Structure 1
C-alpha cells in the first residue's frame, strides 16, 4: 500500500529501502513510496549529492538509476541507524531552523516535526545550545507560511504549472506570466523559484519575496529538456543584449557598488575609479539608482540617461532652494 510521507522522511528512508529491495523498478518504487516517477527521480538526484563530511566523490551516496531499476552502489552509512552526538544534533537543529525560515525551501511543518524529534532524542542540551528556549512547554512555534509560498511549494511537489504575478526589480515592473517550475534554490540567503518562463521562453529565477501572487494551474509542469539538469541559468543577472546599457564611472572610494550590482568593469582609470556597464530595463529605474549613488557614480552614457539624471538632479536642487526661501 502506498504511504505518503514528507520528503525529508522519504529521503532518509530511501537508501535503506532500495538496499532492502535491490533491482526494484522505478515505477514500483514510486508506487510504494507514494510519489510520481518524476518526483522519485528528483529525490534520487538529491541523494546523489548527499553523503559524509568531506563530500568528495568517494564520500557521497552512489546510486545507479540510469536504467529502469534502482541500485545502491554506496550507502554512505545510510543503511544503519543514525547516532548523533550533542554537537552534531545542535548543528542539525540550527540548520533545520534556518531552512524552516527560508520561504519555499522545505515544508515548515515537516522541518519543525524533525526539530521536535531531534530535540526529544538529544535532550535539553542540544535545544539550549542551539538557542531555542521554546515556550513554557519547551515547544517552538513555527512561523506562519504565506499563501504564495504554500502555492509555489505545492506546484513543485505536484509538478504543476504556475501563473505568477511578479515584480521585476531590474525592470521596475509587475507582470503576469505562466511558468513551469523546476526547483527551489537558496542563493545569497534568498529563496528563489527556478522555472521555465513561457513568456520569455527561457529559464528564470523568481525571488519568493517578489512574487505578489501565485495560482497553481491544473496542467503539468513541462519545462523543455534543455532547461533541466543544468546550473547555467543560476546567474541572478544575465546580460540581455536586447536591453539598453548604461555606461558609468564609479569612484575609487565606492568600489562596494560593483559587488552589489550587476556591473561589468570596462577599465580602471589612473585615479582608481572604474568605468563599468550595466543593463537596465527601465530608464526611470536606472535614473533613480544612479541618483541614489550621489557623487559616487557619474553617468557617461547613453544620452537619454545622462539627460534624465541631469534633469532630476537640477529639479532636486531647485526643490532644496525653494525650501530655504
Structure 2
C-alpha cells in the first residue's frame, strides 16, 4: 500500500472513530477494509500526529480499552477530507505557485499532486486562473544576465518591512535562491551597504551605462542560516500566541519560546516595528503583544479604531444577505 493511500485513510480515520466511540478494533478494521494489524499500526502513527508544538494537548489522543478505541482529542480533524470548490481552487493555485517557484524540491511530486487534484476538481479546475511568480525561473535568468553584463541598475523596490516603495541605484554582485525565493545581492548606494533584494519585489529596473562597481568592503552575505539573521540591535518583540498561530515559531527565527498551558510566550527580533505591527494585526485574536510598549500601544490603538469603525456602521448596512 502506498504512503498516499495511508495518508488518505488516516485523514478519514479520526472522524470515523469520533462518530463511533468505543468501537472494537476488529469492527473498525473491517469497515475500513484493512487488517487488524494495519489498523493498530495506523493508531500508533496517529498518536504522533497533531498540531505544531507536538506536546501534550497538541497531539491526537485516544483511549484503548481492551480491543475498543475512543478518540479523546482530535486536533481539529473532526470531519472527513472533503473540499468545496473554493478550497479545491485555493489548493490548485497554491500548487501552481510552487511549480513556478525556483529552487523548490520534489517538483515531480508537486506536479503529480496537482494533476490528481485538477482531475478530481473537474471543470472547476479549468477556471481562468493563471499563476506566474515574479521571481520565477524566467526572471531569475533575466537577472543572472544583468549580473553577467556588469552594469549598475536603477531599481524600484518594495520594502515589505516598512511597507514602502523606493528608487535606488545598486551595483549587482550575484543572484541566488534561498528558501525557494530568488534574490539579487547588490551594493546599495543609498544604504551604503550590501543588501539582498527579493526579485519578486523589484517592480521595475533599468540598466545604466555605468559599470557595476561594488566597493572593496562589499562581501557576499552568508545565507547558510537564512537571509534574515537577527542581531541584538534589532527590536525584541514578545507575543502571547494561541494554538492556531503557533506556526510563526517555525516560520520566523525566535529567541525564546515559553510553552504555557493555553498560550505560548514567543520572543523574536523584528527588522522593523512596522513589520511587527502588520504581522500581529494580520494574525487577529490569536496573538497579543506583550512588549515593547510602543508596539502594544500602536496595535491596541489600531484594533480599537477598527472596532469603533465597525460599531459606526448602521445595522442595515452591516447585514450580510
What TM-score does the superposition give when structure 2 sets the normalisation length? 0.49
What TM-score does the superposition give when structure 1 sets the normalisation length? 0.49
